[in-house]
Amino acid sequence: MAASTDTTYYVGQGNVTLAPRISSGAINGGAFNVGDCSQLQVSFKQGFVDLQENQSGKGYDALHAPVSVDGSLKMTMQQWSSVNLTKALWGTAPTGAAGGTVTAETTTGHNGGKTYLANVNITSLVLTKLPSTVLVEGTDYTVDGSYGSYTILPGSTLVPSGPGVALAAAYTFAPNNGNIQVLAGGPTEYAVTVESKNVANPFVDASNSAFAAIRFQIYRVQFALPAMLDLIGRKDSSLDLEGKILIDPTVTGAGLSPFMNIIKV
């Protein structure tokens, strides 16, 4: 493999992977790629004790002692995959639907209003007013199959204005990418690895890469919830995460960092 120039210049792009780990313990599963990541920043903040002397009459600084280190990480994930949403929003593992048929889902229709069904991407919706009166599509209701909803038309006589009418819904639905229950889980710790391409240092390595490779490993990070989800907007929405870098008690030995290491290929 050709040796890279150990340049002092660095402009990083590349892949970011997260590997779940047991709190204060070992890696608890394989690392997964979060996809396009437009930002990953690591910062360290030191805490000091300052002491001024009391003999000169001028109170000169006599001590500036480091007493703490606070490590943090900021990451911006551009892709809203089911896995990324689950990890960022402390959700349960997404349960993808294989598609199927529903014969009698209990629902309530409201004159002039929209009602959402349990599934999305539906077709062939038939609504029945209990016990056995079938509504007519186009006369009594319309369907928005993509979002799994129906709207009772104002002119429907079977579902008049009022508190709502009990209906049974029969339909088919296509497979989907999963139902994510937000905040159904809790915070999880991850090992964060950056497979960086230093675009400021082009060369060819054993993998025919056009850039020098650098691997950054942050051993133990606990992410907070995103401060905001931009669900409607005029620009690409991202998942912006901040996390605390914690000491990894499983890394022991003289000269070894319990926080992070950097390998320059």
CA distance 109 to 158: 10
Mean pLDDT of 2-24: 82
Q: Which residue has the higher pLDDT, 3 or 157?
A: 157
Mean pLDDT of 149-153: 98
Residue 203: pLDDT band with limits 50, 70, 90 = low
Tell me which of 36-50, 116-130, 174-188 is least confident.
174-188
Amino acid at 243: G
Q: Is the pLDDT of residue 96 over 80?
A: no
Provide the whole-model pTM.
0.82
- In the chain, how long is the greatest CA-to-CA distance? 97
Angle at 170 between CA 124 and CA 100, to 5 degrees: 75
**What are 75-84's pLDDT values in tens digits?**
999 999 988 9
Average pLDDT, rounded, for the chain: 91
pLDDT of residue 174: 94
Q: Is the pLDDT of residue 2 over 70?
A: no
Residue 138: pLDDT band with limits 50, 70, 90 = very high
* 213 and 201 Cβ atoms separated by less than 8 Å: no
Mean pLDDT of 30-56: 95
**What are 161-173's pLDDT values in tens digits?**
999 999 999 999 9
pLDDT of residue 209: 61
pLDDT of residue 204: 58
Structure tokens at 94: 């997404």
Query: Quick one: which of 185, 206, 214, 221 has its CA closest to 31?
Result: 221
**What are 217-264's pLDDT values in tens digits?**
999 999 999 999 999 988 889 999 999 999 999 998 999 999 999 998
Q: Is the pLDDT of residue 200 over 90?
A: no
Query: Quick one: which of 227, 214, 219, 215 has its CA closest to 245?
Result: 219
pLDDT of residue 239: 95
pLDDT of residue 1: 46
Q: Is the pLDDT of residue 34 over 50?
A: yes
pLDDT of residue 41: 97
From first CA to last CA, the distance across the chain in angstroms is: 10
Tell me which of 7-11, 49-53, 190-194, 240-244 is least confident.
7-11
Structure tokens at 119: 């599934």
DSSP 129-150: ETTTEEP-BTTTEEEETTTTEE
Q: Which residue has the higher pLDDT, 23 or 160?
A: 160
Q: Where exactly are the structural domains of the chain?
A: 12-45+64-93+182-264, 100-173
Residue 156: pLDDT band with limits 50, 70, 90 = very high
CA distance 196 to 241: 19
Give the contacts of 37 (CB within 8 A, at least 6 positions apart): 15, 16, 75, 76, 77, 78
